[in-house]
Amino acid sequence: MILYAIPTPLGGSPEEALPAPALDTIRTLKDFAVENAKSARAFLGALGMPVRELSIRTLDDDMAGLMLPLREKRPLGLLSEAGCPAIADPGAALVEAAQREGFRVVPLVGPSSIILALMASGLEGQRFAFCGYLPRDAAERKHRIRELEQRSRRERATEIFIETPYRNDALLAALLDACSPATRLCVAADLTLPSETIRTETIGQWRRAAAQIGRRPAVFLLLADRG
């Protein structure tokens, strides 16, 4: 049996975000393990699926229950709220369990904010690392930013991280305070939406612009100067 890792739209309709073969596969499924039941029902309903007839479990259920469809020889769909499950989103534990028990795992094609941001950033695309969320504490965050900038300079690699939208501007301020003026920073916000912005400039340029991001989903990418 197969566990399908299903991307969901960052914005817009399923038909705008996912290719037809992926949508056709999703419509064949009856069992789903999801990050959020409400958003999953909305996504599946937008595909014209009979939501009330589907089995939808949230990922905080026990693993035995989540794995039951696969063990009973039924395919299972894994959904996060937006983007790709198990990448900066829940789902990795279920994928690990499926792999451990010998089930096939099939990732469907769809949007990833991390990859889309890197594609459009103009920064180093051969060597990059996704670092998740930075520390909330201001002193720890500043220390971590400087660590990432030093690693980026040493390895000539792009460092990628995200933040809860309401803390975007605090993170931007911390980056502008901690980083070298020549380090390049990309902020990609509201990806795939009409309000999308993707801006790459040096820290010095960001400082002069006094920009703010606001409470929008955003990806931050940093590439240090060579020094």
Q: What is the pLDDT of residue 140?
A: 97
Q: What is the pLDDT of residue 23?
A: 97
β-pair partners for 33: 57, 78
Q: What is the pLDDT of residue 211?
A: 81
pLDDT tens digits for the chain (227 residues)?
999 999 999 988 999 999 999 999 999 999 999 999 999 999 999 999 999 999 999 999 999 999 999 999 999 999 999 999 999 889 999 999 999 999 999 999 999 999 999 999 999 999 999 999 999 999 999 999 999 999 999 999 999 999 999 999 999 999 999 999 999 999 999 999 999 999 999 999 999 987 889 999 999 999 998 76
Q: What is the pLDDT of residue 227?
A: 63
Q: What is the pLDDT of residue 224?
A: 96
Residues 124 and 156: beta-carbon distance below 8 Å: yes
Three-state SS string across 121-187, please? HCCCCCCEEEEEECCCCHHHHHHHHHHHHHHHHHHCCEEEEECCHHHHHHHHHHHHHHCCCCCEEEE
Distance of CA 55 to the CA centre of its chain: 25
Put the strands of the sheet holding 31-34 in their side by side order.
55-58, 31-34, 76-79, 2-6, 104-107
What residue type is assigned to position 16 of the chain? E
